[in-house]
Amino acid sequence: MRTSIHNQTKQAARFILVPGLVLVFSIALSHCFISNSISAVSDSLGSASDSLGSVSTSLGSISGSFAS
């Protein structure tokens, strides 16, 4: 009788523990993926801003040459 209760306890613990570990692991994995994606988007926005700044600078120099 005692081993039956022990086995049931082990099965219940496994039934709760395994999905919990899978859930924690998947949340951690998605968090890493999301933060990497945000970093990549931020980098691409920064490079787009830099290229717009250089276009603005070149347009300013072109308009300056027309003014003089």
From residue 15, give the alpha-carbon distance in Å to each of 5, 26, 28.
15, 17, 21
**Residues spanned by the domain of 64:** 25-68
Q: Say if 13 falls within a structural domain.
A: no
Q: What is the residue-averaged pLDDT of the chain?
A: 80
**What's the total number of domains in the chain?**
1
Q: Could you give the 3-state DSSP secondary structure of residue 31?
A: helix
Q: Say if 39 falls within a structural domain.
A: yes
Predicted model pTM: 0.44
In this predicted structure, the answer to whether residue 46 has a pLDDT above a threshold of 60 is yes
- Calpha distance 53→41 (Å, rounded): 18
In this predicted structure, the answer to whether residue 31 has a pLDDT above a threshold of 80 is no
Q: Say if 8 falls within a structural domain.
A: no
